[in-house]
Amino acid sequence: MGALSIRNVRKSFGATDILKGIDIEVEAGEFLILVGPSGCGKSTLLSMIAGLDTPSTGSIHIADRDVTYALPKDRDIAMVFQSYALYPNMNVAKNISFGLEMRNVPKAEREAAVQRVAKMLQIEHLLDRKPGQLSGGQRQRVAMGRALARNPKLFLFDEPLSNLDAKLRVEMRAEIKLLHQRTKTTTVYVTHDQVEAMTLGDRIAVMREGVVQQLGTPDDIYSRPATRFVAEFIGSPAMNMVGSRRAANGLVAKGVDLALTDEQRLALQAAGAPEITYGLRPESLAFAGDGLPGSVSMLEPTGPETYAMVDTPLGNLVARVPGKVSHAVGERVFLQWAATDAHLFDGQNEKRVA
């Protein structure tokens, strides 16, 4: 059993099923991300790990101890919320040490813990200030400091960066990653932001409608998405999806023969699905001298790369190309890709075929 064990956890409100049988084992020191769209059940699951809610069925174990119905204070966890939840009448040092004081930790130990986490988070110069005198990023550091002072068995983060601007999100994301590398505390982190998920997590659980669609490393999730939903949710811009049908020699979509590897052809034969969704990530598409014809319908330069929407016989495809694009809107172009970059999904159950 790992540091956190979630076994067949279900949650229902009346006839509405929120979680539909979640099974996850988290190893000691692991950083697990729960990611998915709003309403997928990730925050509900985190609340049950924290003890703020209880499962309808199933169990939760922390460090080999069944805590399914234990109070939050008895779980040895620390939680960082989306809202900083700081005491406005207390200075930073008091905010960090208040939880320890409530647990009757001796004053000398509390003060040592405050100094330790303040140095770690580079907020030593802020200890005498109150929350109203801090920026959003500083407040989030204080909230993390309060959690760190506990030295718990488990850290829980509930979308902690949602209230920050883009620049601060990048900075705090790096801070959280460095923090985990230093402390090696087991962490469960909830987000709807796929960039946070891919950059922070040792493993990612992609959730949809109360079900874990895929649990794996960031590379697993990105390179071999288990379902069409995972493929479209992870990656920006989203994966291009083309509906196709089986043909004698492979796949055909709107009169176009789609490139396949020998391995993919064998997988298609084994699957026997008549309708196949053919997926291509935008970065797999490249402009070339020949290939799939089309015309540029939109360009979105981002600086280091450009997103180009191309109207083709297969529909509108988005290509993600490095640098600037020399082509203009309306210009005729050709797209090429490698068959090894294609992702195949069953057109009915949306599961990965190859």
Within-domain flag for 81: yes
- Residue 180: phi, psi to the nearest 5? -65, -35
Same domain, 32 and 142: yes
In this model, does residue 140 exceed pLDDT 60? yes
Mean pLDDT value of segment 261-267: 93
In this model, does residue 272 exceed pLDDT 90? no
Contact (Cβ atoms closer than 8 angstroms) between residue 28 and residue 3: yes
- Residue type, position 232, single letter: E
In this model, does residue 2 exceed pLDDT 90? no
| Residue 151: band (very low, low, confident or very high) from pLDDT cuts 50, 70, 90 | confident
Q: What is the pLDDT of residue 9?
A: 97
Q: End of a domain among 178, 200, 231?
A: 231
| Residue 297: band (very low, low, confident or very high) from pLDDT cuts 50, 70, 90 | very high
Q: What is the pLDDT of residue 130?
A: 93
| Residue 136: band (very low, low, confident or very high) from pLDDT cuts 50, 70, 90 | confident
Provide the domain limits for residue 323. Answer: 239-346
Within-domain flag for 353: no
Contact (Cβ atoms closer than 8 angstroms) between residue 279 and residue 237: no
pLDDT tens digits along 166-220: 887 888 888 889 889 988 999 999 999 999 999 999 999 999 999 999 999 999 9
Structure tokens at 218: 């960031």
Q: Calculate the dihedral angle through the C-alpha atoms of 110, 116, 118, 124, rounding to the nearest 10 degrees.
A: 100
Same domain, 258 and 223: no
Helix (H) or strand (E) holding 175: helix 166-183
Same domain, 169 and 252: no
In this model, does residue 228 exceed pLDDT 90? yes
| Residue 238: band (very low, low, confident or very high) from pLDDT cuts 50, 70, 90 | very high
Within-domain flag for 337: yes
Within-domain flag for 155: yes
Same domain, 224 and 243: no
pLDDT tens digits along 72-109: 989 989 888 877 788 999 999 999 999 888 888 999 99
Same domain, 183 and 278: no
Within-domain flag for 352: no
Same domain, 24 and 164: yes
Same domain, 88 and 224: yes
Say which CATH number the domain at 260 has.
2.40.50.140
Within-domain flag for 30: yes
Q: End of a domain among 181, 203, 231?
A: 231
Which of 263, 268, 235 lies closest to 250 in space, CA to CA? 268
Q: What is the pLDDT of residue 94?
A: 93
Kindly state the percentage of the chain with pLDDT values over 70. Answer: 99
In this model, does residue 48 exceed pLDDT 80? yes
Same domain, 78 and 196: yes
Least confident of 121-130, 225-234, 310-319: 121-130
Q: What is the pLDDT of residue 256?
A: 93
Within-domain flag for 354: no
Same domain, 225 and 247: no
Same domain, 93 and 122: yes
Mean pLDDT across the chain, nearest whole number?
A: 92
Same domain, 126 and 251: no
Q: End of a domain among 166, 197, 231?
A: 231
In this model, does residue 27 exceed pLDDT 90? yes
Distance CA 22, CA 49 (A): 12
In this model, does residue 237 exceed pLDDT 90? yes
- Tally of structural domains, the chain: 2
Same domain, 179 and 227: yes
Distance CA 147, CA 78 (A): 5
Q: What is the pLDDT of residue 330?
A: 96
Q: What is the pLDDT of residue 252?
A: 94
Within-domain flag for 135: yes
Least confident of 52-56, 179-183, 275-279: 179-183
In this model, does residue 1 exceed pLDDT 70? no
Angle CA(101)–CA(105)–CA(107) in degrees, nearest 5? Answer: 80
| Residue 315: band (very low, low, confident or very high) from pLDDT cuts 50, 70, 90 | very high
Mean pLDDT value of segment 157-170: 84
Say which CATH number the domain at 58 has.
3.40.50.300
Q: What is the pLDDT of residue 165?
A: 81
